[in-house]
Amino acid sequence: MSIWRYIVHSAVGLSRPGCHGESEMTSTAIPPATALPPGAAHIDHFAQADAADLSGVQLRMIREAAPRFREWFATTGTPDYVGTFDLVSLPYPTKFGLWRAALSPVPFLTITNRLLVLRWKDAEGRTRTMLFEPSDVQLDGNTPYFKALRESMPQQFERFTVTYHATVEEHLRRLGIRAEEVDYITFDHLHTQDVRRWIGTTTPQADISPAKPVEPYFPNATMIVQRRELAALAELHPLQRPWFQPEAYTDLRRDAIVEIEGDILLGPGIALLSTPGHTPGNHSLVLNTTTGIWASSENAIAAECMAPEHSRIPGVRRWAGRWGQEVIINANTIENTAQQYNSMVKEKSIVDRSRVDPRFPQFFPSSELTRNRLNPGTQPTFNHHAINHGSLTPQR
């Protein structure tokens, strides 16, 4: 029985909108009964493309499937609320963020990592709250890559280049959202993430709770994650190792995790679409809002990386034209570059154009290239800054 079928038929009991045939997915894992909200359903517009093993064939199939997905997704409704909140701005290697395209000799650019807060009503009328990218910035700092970077730089460098805007807890407090109200958390992928404080552990943790298991900060939250992302964490390849903290996943509360496979509709105008490549279980948040359809992930660090022909970052437009590439990938991992490229075309093909500047698609980078006078050669041509939609109604 596939994970999905279990969730849909046993826990959620709903049909499969957007179906064009039976799913081929197989897994023996059993998710908790409370897994996904009523109204959640599998999406299989891209099932055939996902199954293609040749990158060129897959790319064509993605392009062919995207218009039908767009048309259908716009009919699923809209969430009640989407808000965006800055967590941290930090240096990131230019060669990763803009791959081979930028001419700037400055080794770092600046990206801003943000939290999205979402609310919607499920099929039974109950309000649901989800956090997308609730990075625990403090514990994420233990990621091997960041640790090595910090150790190689003088302390002043961090003070000078890193800006801590506010923590997840601080943002939620200001919004009036209690920790118990959070039903779901999800990340586009698990690079750098340490979620022990969010969903708790079953055993004591030497570094943060040596005497007893970690109590979950979000006692009612379930982490939604692609099965392949967790599977990859269990046995990392050397190309993947600098970016993950696998030891933070061994003792997590399993009943606070739901593993999914592929593309799912979570609620009206809220979907998670599988966009592998950057990591094996990468997925993108896709939203239908009053400003049209958006997608968010870290596959690219700027909207202009999805439309390099309009980029004014020195080198980018020319490089994309010369190599005939329609996207500039965020290339800190190159474990599956063609697949990441295809996933970016999937994102680019399903979103609407920006109402602020229609040259750019509504691809919202979960870590967005940010203007910084220290990096003159990588100033963004255009920033989305945020996705804002609807309003927040206090819960009783």
Contacts with Zn ion, residue ranges (CB under 5 A):
191, 298
Which of 182/230 has CB closer to Zn ion? 230
Q: Least distance in Å: CB of 243 to Zn ion?
A: 6
Looking at beta carbons only, is 42 or 189 nearer to Zn ion?
189
Q: Minimum CB separation from Zn ion for residue 142, in Å?
A: 16
State which residue, 191 or 317, has the beta carbon closest to Zn ion. Answer: 191
Residue nearest to Zn ion (CB): 191
Lookup: tokens for 78: 């809209």
Task: Provide, rounded to whole angstroms, the least separation between the CB of residue 200 and Zn ion.
Answer: 24
Q: Which is nearer to Zn ion, 6 or 145 (CB)?
A: 145
**CA distances in angstroms from 142 to 82, 168, 191, listed in the order given:** 30, 18, 11
Dist. CA 17–CA 68, nearest whole Å: 12
- CB-nearer residue toward Zn ion: 183 or 298: 298
Helix 337-350 × helix 55-73 angle, to 10° = 20
Shortest spacing between CB 375 and Zn ion, in angstroms: 20
Shortest CB 130 distance to Zn ion, Å = 20
Q: Closer to Zn ion by CB, 51 or 334: give it.
A: 334
Q: Which is nearer to Zn ion, 282 or 381 (CB)?
A: 282
**Least distance (Å) between residue 301 CB and Zn ion:** 10
Q: Which is nearer to Zn ion, 119 or 191 (CB)?
A: 191
Which residue number, 3 or 369, has a Cβ lying nearer to Zn ion? 369
- Distance of CA 16 to CAs 12, 227, 373, Å? 11, 20, 49
SS (H, E, C) the chain: CCHHHHHHHHHHCCCCCCCCCCCCCCCCCCCCCCCCCCCCEEECCCHHHHHCCCHHHHHHHHHHHHHHHHHHHCCCCCCCEEEEEEEEEEEEEHHHHCCCCCCCCCCEEEEEEEEEEEEEECCCCCEEEEEECCCCHHHHCCCHHHHHHHHHCCHHHHHHHCEECCCHHHHHHHHCCCHHHCCEEECCCCCCCCCHHHHCECCEECCCEEEEECCCCCCCCEEEEEHHHHHHHHCCCCCCHHHCCHHHCCCECHHHEEEECCEEEEECCEEEEECCCCCCCCEEEEEEECCEEEEEECCCCCHHHHCHHHCCCCCHHHHHHHHCCCCCCCCCCCCCHHHHHHHHHHHHHHCCECCCCCCCECEEECEEECCCCCCHHHCCCCCCCCCCEECCCCCC
Task: Rank residues 122 and 298 by Cβ distance to Zn ion and give the closer one.
Answer: 298
CB of 145 to Zn ion, least distance (A): 10
CB of 330 to Zn ion, least distance (A): 7
Show the tokens assigned to 224.
């939604």
Minimum distance from CB of 298 to Zn ion (Å)?
Answer: 5
